Amino acid sequence: MGLFENELFYEKRLLAEDDEGGRVSYQDLNSFSEELIRRVGGKKLIFILCENTIGSLLGYLGCLKTGVVPLMLEKQINPQLLARLMEEYCPAFLYVPEDCLTKTGECEIVWRVKGYCLCERKAFHSPSLYGELSLLLTTSGSTGSPKLVRQSKDNIVANAESICSYLKIQEKERPVTTLPMNYTYGLSIINSHVKKGAAIYLTTKSIVERPFWDFVKEREITSLGGVPYTYQLLKRIGFLEMELPELRTLTQAGGKLPTTLHKEFAVYAKETGKQFVVMYGQTEATARMGYLPADSAVERCGSMGVAIPGGRFWLRDDIGEEIKEPFVQGELVYEGDNVALGYASSREDLKKEDEWNGILYTGDMAERDADGFYYITGRKKRFIKLFGNRVNLDEVERLLKEHFEGVDFACLGRDDSLIIYTDTKGEEGFKEIMEYLYEITGISPRAMTIRSVSTIPKNESGKTLYSELEI
């Protein structure tokens, strides 16, 4: 069974509509897929520069239908980072918007369709690919790490089926895009609705722009999703006072929502007859691992809920044993068919088989209450989430040290706040740091705080003493 096994029943249905009136059906996707595989010529690696448009959606779904393996990347990716990934993984093709052709290097345009170009890299051959490999996604936000997550068709289908089950998604749902297509949460919304033959409503507009809400009202949108920052913006722009009778479902993932904001939206949903569903996930689990049922949103405010249908959570202590008692902190472990195959750090890794066997050690610390609901308490490793994107603090630190030779850095932070300690001084230097990070990673300056210190504290072996720096 796959995402498209029911397509004979809904091939004439609308697959997607954009905010400029463009429309494509599921039958159009079939035609696109046939042409895609004819031009690509089999199971090969392709890089897709994504945006929330019909051309991008067709490219992604066409790959899933035909077995072509896409690496999903943001349209605005820094050219240096793209070149680094291309050098490491050697894709046979690139599928990019027409206004991004300067990023592709030497290649031949073999197909133009829906504002996108399929570009063949003549001097390159796709690396060997494991037969079950279906999708590649980046792991560390926009920091340019070549480390990827390898997902299979079974991973994608299992997660989509589970999401359809607990959100009760039907073919009449009308979701709007609020998240990037290269982001695992954004893809999970697409996958779960395609599984039911629903239509996806595509827009590149931001939720702070009036045309976005005009589109939502005109198309009678029934659901939208967001990361914590999305909900901060929604509150700021007066969403809680809007009249949106058709909107029935709000979902949130991509980091822990502040408890006060969680409660505010949970109460709003209860009072307006909507469902507000907080979820927990990672790219390594294809997307979702946990959810807080809507009827518990107020009562269990702050919880990330229970395991999704077909999955299981448990907590591991320091010696690897399962913690049975409630209210004891341990590392959160997840088991399920949606756990990805493993990581890739080079093209050689793309032929590896399933290394994780359905078990994911999340790196998140959590505790469980007496009723079996889980609460995230912190992170085991040095990751934070900035507006829904996971950022590796060590990777950011490495980028800064490499670029600013002779300057020392230490990076800390919490969700939506990156704190950079440096031994450089002066506002001009701070501005340079912010501009460089924004250019290379896309991390917004508003998420950064730079603090000057005379020296970065180190231990006798030269390792940074993060505990001596304040967050």
Domain boundaries, the chain: 7-378, 383-468
383-468 matches 7-378 in CATH topology: no
CA distance 342 to 444: 30
The model's pTM: 0.86
**Superfamily (CATH) of domain 383-468:** ANL, C-terminal domain (3.30.300.30)
Please state which CATH number belongs to domain 7-378: 3.40.50.12780
Q: pLDDT tens for the chain, 471 residues: list them.
A: 578 866 666 778 999 999 999 999 999 999 999 999 999 999 999 999 999 999 999 999 999 999 999 999 999 998 988 999 999 999 999 999 999 998 888 899 999 999 999 999 987 788 999 999 999 999 855 455 679 999 999 999 999 999 999 999 999 999 999 999 999 999 999 999 999 999 999 999 999 999 999 999 999 999 999 988 899 899 999 999 999 999 999 999 988 888 889 999 999 999 999 999 999 999 999 999 999 999 999 999 999 999 999 999 999 998 999 999 999 999 999 999 999 999 999 999 999 999 999 999 999 889 999 999 999 887 777 888 888 887 888 889 888 987 898 799 999 998 889 999 999 888 888 999 999 999 988 888 999 999 999 999 986 546 688 889 987
